[in-house]
Amino acid sequence: MNSFLFLYNSIEYDDKYDVCSDIELVEKINQGNDQAEKCLFKRYFYLIRKIISSFYIMGCGKDDVFQESMIGLLKAIKRYDKKYNKSFKRYAELCIRRQIISALRKFKKYEIPTNCFTVSYSENEFLEQVSDDSPNPEDLLIVKEEKDIFVEFASSHLSDYEKSVINKYCQGKSYKEIAEALNKDLKSVDNALQRVKKKARLCFLENTE
């Protein structure tokens, strides 16, 4: 990741933009402000690194994937509309991930790592995304595709118990709360979640072939 660090340090801009919110920067960028663009790029640099690190890439350089992630960020900047009251960061992360996956699918050069379907993104945020009824057209297009995959996955791969566990887990319930609600012990809940994660990884791989 040395090239990333070099690029990060090479981005210079007027630090007065540091006080701007993401949405304010997006507005300025769309008005042609290159200083705001540099500020937002630098602000999102480590998020992009984190996203890239979630993919195991075969025969494809990290720099190539980084370029795709920047394209995803630019798309988010261009298409974001604040009137829908959505977090730009969340929307940008979704666009970046989708851009990377779309690019890598063409070359079939990636695998989903064992920690990809974790609380940090794929369970809590994934279900949060597919349940969001915001009228943003671009987001709805992405959400519909993800929702269709998840609904098909749940109906064909998960038991009724696993569905109940993952539903409550994605509502923010703790293991203890889930266990009490379903009259199960903690080990049973943990085992169910591990099975869901394993099945979800396999399902995702099937849908990227």
Per-residue model confidence as pLDDT tens digits over 45-81: 888 888 877 665 544 566 778 888 999 999 999 988 8
Give residue 202's pLDDT. 67
Assess whether 90 and 55 both reside in one domain.
yes
Assess whether 123 and 198 both reside in one domain.
yes
111 forms beta bridges with 56
Last residue of a domain, one of 56, 80, 111: 111
Assess whether 193 and 145 both reside in one domain.
yes
Q: Identify the DSSP state of 12.
A: -
Is residue 173 exposed (0-12), middle (13-18) or buried (19+ Cβ within 10 Å)? middle
Considering the chain, what is the average pLDDT of its residues?
73
- Structural domains counted in the chain: 2
Instruction: Report residue 106's pLDDT band, with 50, 70 and 90 as the boundaries.
Output: low
Over the stretch 130-186, which tens digit does the pLDDT of each residue have? 334 343 444 444 445 555 566 666 777 889 898 888 878 766 677 888 899 999 998
Assess whether 135 and 193 both reside in one domain.
yes
Over the stretch 18-42, which tens digit does the pLDDT of each residue have? 889 999 999 999 999 999 999 999 8
Give residue 48's pLDDT. 87
Give residue 184's pLDDT. 93
Q: Please indicate whether residue 27 or residue 196 has the higher confidence score (pLDDT).
A: 27
Q: Which helix (H) or strand (E) holds 110?
A: strand 110-111
Assess whether 136 and 189 both reside in one domain.
yes
Assess whether 126 and 105 both reside in one domain.
no
Nearest to 146 by CA among 110, 106, 178, 102: 102
Q: What's the predicted TM-score (pTM) here?
A: 0.52
Phi, psi of 57 (to 5 degrees): -105, 130
Last residue of a domain, one of 94, 111, 128: 111
Assess whether 10 and 106 both reside in one domain.
yes
Assess whether 137 and 177 both reside in one domain.
yes
Assess whether 141 and 160 both reside in one domain.
yes
Show Cβ contacts of residue 108 under 8 Å, excluding neighbours closer than 6 positions.
Answer: 208, 209
Contacts 24+ apart (CB under 8 A), 154-158: 157/199, 157/203, 158/196, 158/199
Give residue 195's pLDDT. 87
CATH code of the domain containing 134: 1.10.10
Q: What is the extent of the structural domain holding 4? A: 1-111
* Alpha-carbon dihedral angle through residues 187, 188, 193, 194, given to the nearest 10 degrees: 70
Contact 29, 17 (CB under 8 A): no
Assess whether 128 and 79 both reside in one domain.
no
Is the pLDDT reported for residue 121 higher than 70?
no
State the CB neighbour count (10 A cutoff) for residue 68.
Answer: 18
Last residue of a domain, one of 84, 111, 138: 111
Assess whether 2 and 100 both reside in one domain.
yes
Assess whether 130 and 153 both reside in one domain.
yes
CA distance 26 to 37: 8
* Alpha-carbon dihedral angle through residues 14, 18, 22, 27, given to the nearest 10 degrees: -40
